[in-house]
A and B are shown apart, each in its own frame.
Chain A
């Protein structure tokens, strides 16, 4: 479903990504972790072309992201993305947040889009908030709406960039629950997170990044059982200790 082949990226002279290669099969859940600044966000944003890369290529469902002839908006419209800071559209109601791209990008009728939006809002348990604006919801609620918004486009896979790290601790689980449910329904997911409980529960593989490289790419059993690299061991002991 997602094939990342020898990706390298530079910001000026600074190399952010070094020869990253991995793949996500249909229905797989991949967790990406690593220290701050290791390039996790950059890598995941390369997948739907929000960040450009200078070497290598990425294929989403067979379509090349690096090819300048690729219709990126079309490709992005069926790759869902959830951000650390939610990024709901603050001037729209929740209903509008859920329907606007369905109407403007997919060409659905407003009724059809609203119906689909309401179904998803119900699914994340926020139906009664449909008329509100994002600023009137808690962080956890906003992130659940953001997930519903991404799902409204019927994505073939979902990208998450630290979806719970901007949340107060008591709101983390309400978001993780939605993600676990998605994973169990067979959604293809690439998730940057430090929530190792989530990784243990639903992931197929864990990728560990350090200084722009993929240092470890292992099944979750191997990763939590016997990570090979010292850096990964250190990282694990640090985040599991609290």
Chain B
């Protein structure tokens, strides 16, 4: 407790010298440089995986609410597949098994594989939320949309999805925060993100407390920022006159 040494972040990683500016120069980097770059990797994996998850999760969730049995089956199978295998196992499947089965994927960087693994895993959970959101609207809204002459896709686009997404903002928020935390599995396939940084930096410097506190802080800030952004969006799209909608 007594001897916290935050200067460890100003040390250069090869020489061990303390850099006066705290940032490396002349080809060497400090632990601070490394920390920030690791944070960048964490954010990149998370944001890209979130995009994949939102896109595919929405698509699969929508399919599960259509009147077409084949599409419902596809959405259900997708969801069950990716939600019933542990995340870490899925990452290893993407890393070791998928490229072995599909030769063209052999050269794909592990960063992409991790984004796919984390994205598909999360897409199953988002599919579940999108389905629940659409089904919470009951059949009346769908019929009202169709009765106006909208096609089924138009009914989803203009009637069902705008309300369904509003309803599921809270669970989507926690899913987005989870993805930041879950991105730590990327260390298992050697992506130089925050968790891998923590493991290696504490090994090299023996300053585990400082390293882990800094890494925890960055995870917290990232997840918290997502939470605030979601709250902002939730307020922006609030419908006047709805329950909890605070009309005027």
Residues of A bordering B, CB below 8 Å: 45, 48, 50, 73-74, 76-79, 81, 83, 85, 87-91, 100-101, 104-106, 132-137, 149-150, 153
Given the known interface contacts A85-B140, A91-B162, A100-B158, the answer about A76 and B241 at a Cβ–Cβ threshold of 8 Å is no
A153, B239: Cα distance in complex, Å: 25
| B144 and A133 contacting across the interface, CB-CB below 8 Å | no
Residue of A45, A85, A134, A149 near B148 (CB, 8 A) is A149
| Chain B binding surface, main DSSP class | helix
Cross-chain contact of A91 among B143, B151, B154, B239 (Cβ < 8 A): B239
B90-105 residues with Cβ-Cβ distance < 8 A to A are: none
Q: Which residue of A lies closest to B237 (CB)?
A: A91
A90-B163, A104-B154, A135-B247 known; A76 vs B240 contact (CB < 8 Å): no
Please tell me which one of the listed residues A50, A74, A101, A134 contacts residue B143 in the complex, with CB atoms under 8 A apart. A50
Contact size range, B: 20 to 34
Distance of A86 from chain B, by nearest CB (Å): 8
Query: Does any Cβ of A come within 8 Å of B245's Cβ?
Result: yes
Does B23 count as interface, using CB distance less than 8 angstroms? Answer: no
Structural contact, A90 and B140, CB atoms closer than 8 A:
no
CA distance A150 to B245 in the complex (A): 27
Beyond A90-B241, A133-B242: 7 further Cβ-contacts under 8 Å?
Answer: A48-B147, A73-B146, A87-B143, A89-B141, A89-B163, A90-B239, A91-B166
Cα of A85 to Cα of B240 in the assembled complex, Å:
19
Q: Are B163 and A136 in contact (CB under 8 A)?
A: no
Tell me if B242 and A89 are in contact (CB < 8 A): no
Could you tell me the distance between the alpha carbons of A42 and B154 in the complex, rounded to whole angstroms? 24
